[in-house]
């Protein structure tokens, strides 16, 4: 679920930056920057979760390896 939210948030951020980024207003610029920062934090959290899952997977694979 978290990965899906991160992907949709990155798509929404790209669309918002492409549309609202053309306005000459500091509030829209701050909103775009906030959304970009939020997206980066979500994606970094996804990478950490993927790394933890790979570690668990490799540990289980090594424990189940026949000797």
Q: Which two tokens stand for residue 52?
A: 């933890």
Please tell me the predicted confidence (pLDDT) of residue 22: 87
Please tell me the predicted confidence (pLDDT) of residue 2: 83
* Residue stretches of the chain with pLDDT short of 70: 67
Please tell me the predicted confidence (pLDDT) of residue 35: 96
Please tell me the predicted confidence (pLDDT) of residue 67: 66
Please tell me the predicted confidence (pLDDT) of residue 33: 95
HEC string for the chain = CHHHHHHHHHHHHHHHHHHHCCCCCHHHHHHHHHHHHHHHHHHHHHHHHHHHHHHHHHHHHHHCCCC
Please tell me the predicted confidence (pLDDT) of residue 21: 85
């Amino acid at each position: 679920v978290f990965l899906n939210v991160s992907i949709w948030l990155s798509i929404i951020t790209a669309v918002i930056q492409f549309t609202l980024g053309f306005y000459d207003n500091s509030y829209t610029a701050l909103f775009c920057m906030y959304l970009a920062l939020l997206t980066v934090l979500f994606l970094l959290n996804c990478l950490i979760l993927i790394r933890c899952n790979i570690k668990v997977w490799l540990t289980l694979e090594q424990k189940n390896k026949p000797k």
